[in-house]
Structures are given as C-alpha cells and as structure tokens.
C-alpha cells in the first residue's frame, strides 16, 4: 500500500492521520454506506482459504497454500485493478471459518473463497452469503462454471447446435462439477447427467449427501443408472472436472461431432490426442493446449463489476451475464480451436465487469 497524497509536512500528517481522519470516521459513523466512498473497501477483496483443496495438490494446509493466494492477488490487480489480501486460515471447521470471515468482513468490499474442499465449501459460501452484505464468491465453483458455460455456448455455435438440444455428461460432483451442472441447468441445457466415483447420480441412489440429493432433482431426467460409459452413450458433450481418468472405450458411444472438455489439471481425464479421435472440439485446463478453460477469464471482471455496482451479492443473472460476455469476446475468431478468448486479452475483464454491473443494476 502506498499513499496517494504527500506525507512530508506536519500539515500533511494532520490531514492524512489525526485529526483529519476523525472527520471521515464521524461521517461513516453517521452513514455506513460512505465507507465504500471514503475507504479502500470499494476496491479490496479478501482471498480466503483453508488450504484443503489447492489446485491438483489437495489438502496441503494454509501455509503451503499461500503462494496460490498470492498469485490470485496478483491476477486481481493485473487484470482488473482490484486490490486483494490473501488470508489463509488455520482451521477447517466451517463454523470457525464463517465466524472468522464474518468478523473480518468490515475491512473488505468482497470475499473470494478459494480452494476449500467440498462439501464444506457449499455450506460456508451459503452461510456467508446470508450473513454478509458484500459479494461472496467461491471461485472454484462459480468461476469454473462461468468459463465452462462460455466455452460451451461457443462450441455449440461452431457445431451448429442449441443448448436445449444437448445431453451433457459432467464427470465429477465436487465444487466445480456441482456449480457447472447448476449453471448449465440455469442456461437451459436440455439434459444433464452427473457422474461421481460411484457412477451416475440419480434420485434413487443411496447415501447421497444433501448437495448431491439436490443435484439429482435437476439432472438425469431419464433416470439413467450405471457408470460413465452408460452416461456417455449418445451424449454430445463431456465435461470432466474429476481429476480421474476415462477409458477410451467409454468415448466410443458418444454422438458424432462431440464436444469434450477434459478440465482436470495438470492431467486431463482424457488426453487431448485421444479426445480428438471422438470430438471436433476439445478443451482442457492447460495453457499448452488450445481452448484453455481458465478462471482468470471470469473472477477479475466479476469482482470489478460487483464492486463498481456496489452489489451486495453475486446473482445468478450476473454469472450468466459474465459467461455471455466471455463468449462474445471471441468474436470473429470463433473456430474449433478458439472457443474462449485468451486469458491475456485485456478486453475480457472490461467486458465481464460491464456485463456484471449491468446485470446487477437491471434487477432493480
């Protein structure tokens, strides 16, 4: 942090600190909404983790997770001019995490939850959203879902399809898989089938946790049962967010001209060279292959737009608007190997921020 005003004389000090700041304190005490105007909260996000689900590394703890949170802070600043502070909590208890973040919240304009394992991440986000009057956004869920939806919108354009005509198989029912399934449902995808390590999720399956029980109510309308190969028969789209692997034989039952997003990183569920044997469009989570599904396309602009709009939460309409904005940034370059813009394209965060802000303002 550096001062935007000089601090070289006694008069400077009297304005920047005591007694000058007392006037600002009095103003905010009389009207708390002025905090966003007179303090850094209007441009400051907390990046909060407990280190339990870091990248592909898993539960490595809060200290080892700090480099990822610092990297996230660098991306916030570079791509959207948003300041952020990494906060790595030495607890995995949802009650303690919610209490700690709630107590810290007055210093921030938004909360970015990061790398918290499922299913605890769903409860933590839900409770914070209901408690706080600033945006709360779990990027592993919603950032991944938004960019995936943007990529799918463009993929169906390339293959001359419609979202409503698709059967999409999502492999993985963790944070990303659940959020992607919900986003696809909200966007009007025709049929969604979700598989976890035990096979297809359906309403009659035993031992489903509450999140998967809810997921079963909005997916698999045909009541399919069985493994991933069964789910993929006739499917036009496969989205992998499991960290596992899919045998090539399971891909043989997919529809012609298929779409495969194998997003596990660093090792995709299906190797790109194998995926191309069955799909006309292939995306991964890796930067060394075309069509990288990268959350940096979403989260900087989403927070920029939410902060600029003084939003109190992130709505579903804001998420869908962000996905549309990302998809539209590809423009005339749209092709099988170009269904998402480059993460380094400076126009993306601007477009996403404008779309998110407009979606918030349109709700009134």
Contact 181, 192 (CB under 8 A): yes
**CATH number of 141-364, picked from 3.40.50.150, 3.40.50.720, 1.10.3300.10, 3.30.70.100:** 3.40.50.720
pTM, rounded to two decimals: 0.93
> Cα(108)–Cα(284) distance, rounded to whole angstroms?
34
pLDDT higher than threshold 80 for residue 2: no
HSE of 77 in the Cβ direction (CA atoms, 13 Å)?
13
Predicted confidence at residue 58, as pLDDT, reads: 87
Dihedrals phi, psi of 237, to nearest 5 degrees: -135, 135
Of 112, 55, 162, residue with least CA distance to 302: 112
The answer to whether 17 is a known catalytic residue is yes
Name the percent of the chain in helix, strand, coil, to the closest 5: 50, 15, 35
Q: Is 114 annotated as a binding residue?
A: yes
135, burial (CB in 10 Å: exposed 0-12, middle 13-18, buried 19+): buried
Condensed to tens digits (0 to 9), the pLDDT of residues 130-157 reads 999 999 999 999 999 999 999 999 999 9
The answer to whether 38 is a known catalytic residue is no
Condensed to tens digits (0 to 9), the pLDDT of residues 35-85 reads 999 999 999 999 999 999 987 788 999 999 999 999 999 999 999 999 999
Q: How many helices (H) and strands (E) would you count in the chain?
A: 15, 10
Kindly give the pairing relationship between strand 191-196 and strand 199-200: antiparallel
Q: Provide CATH code, domain 31-134.
A: 3.40.50.10380
Three-state DSSP at 318 gives helix
Condensed to tens digits (0 to 9), the pLDDT of residues 79-120 reads 999 999 999 999 999 999 999 999 999 999 999 999 999 889
Q: What tokens does 218 get?
A: 């909005």
Contact 295, 336 (CB under 8 A): no
Q: Is 294 annotated as a binding residue?
A: yes
pLDDT higher than threshold 80 for residue 185: yes
Q: Is 95 annotated as a binding residue?
A: no
Strand partners, 200: 195
Mean pLDDT of the chain: 94
The domain limits of the chain are 31-134, 141-364
Predicted confidence at residue 364, as pLDDT, reads: 66
Dihedrals phi, psi of 294, to nearest 5 degrees: -125, 125
Count of beta carbons in the 10 Å neighbourhood of residue 211: 17
> Cα(125)–Cα(111) distance, rounded to whole angstroms?
10
Q: Is 115 annotated as a binding residue?
A: yes
């Amino acid at each position: 942090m550096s001062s935007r005003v000089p601090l070289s004389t006694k008069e400077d000090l009297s304005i920047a600190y005591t007694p000058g700041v007392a006037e600002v304190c009095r103003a905010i005490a009389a009207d708390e909404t002025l905090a966003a105007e007179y303090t850094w909260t209007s441009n400051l996000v907390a990046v909060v983790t407990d280190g339990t689900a870091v990248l592909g590394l898993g539960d490595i703890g809060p200290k080892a997770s700090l480099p990822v949170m610092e990297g996230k802070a660098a991306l916030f600043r570079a791509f959207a001019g948003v300041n952020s502070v990494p906060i790595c909590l030495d607890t995995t208890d949802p009650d303690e995490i919610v209490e700690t973040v709630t107590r810290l919240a007055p210093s921030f304009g938004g909360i970015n939850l990061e790398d918290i394992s499922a299913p605890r991440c769903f409860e933590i986000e839900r409770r914070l959203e209901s408690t706080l009057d600033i945006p709360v956004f779990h990027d592993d869920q919603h950032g991944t879902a938004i960019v995936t939806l943007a990529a799918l919108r463009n993929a169906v354009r390339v293959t001359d399809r419609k979202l409503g005509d698709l059967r999409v198989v999502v492999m993985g029912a963790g944070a990303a898989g659940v959020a992607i399934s919900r986003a696809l449902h909200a966007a009007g995808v025709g049929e969604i089938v979700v598989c976890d390590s035990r096979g297809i999720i359906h309403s009659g399956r035993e031992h489903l946790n509450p999140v998967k029980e809810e997921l079963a109510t909005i997916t698999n309308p045909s009541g399919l049962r069985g493994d991933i190969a069964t789910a993929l028969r006739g499917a036009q789209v496969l989205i992998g967010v499991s960290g596992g692997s899919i045998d090539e034989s399971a891909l043989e039952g997919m529809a012609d001209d298929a779409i495969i997003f194998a997003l596990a990183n660093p090792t995709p569920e299906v190797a790109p060279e194998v995926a191309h044997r069955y799909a006309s469009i292939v995306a991964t989570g890796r930067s060394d292959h075309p069509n990288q599904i990268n959350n940096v396309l979403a989260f900087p602009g989403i927070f920029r737009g939410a902060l600029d709009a003084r939003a109190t939460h992130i709505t579903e309409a804001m998420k869908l608007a962000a996905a549309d904005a990302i998809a539209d940034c590809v423009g005339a370059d749209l092709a099988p190997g170009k269904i998402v813009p480059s993460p380094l394209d400076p126009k993306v965060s601007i477009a996403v921020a404008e779309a998110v802000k407009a979606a918030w303002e349109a709700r009134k």
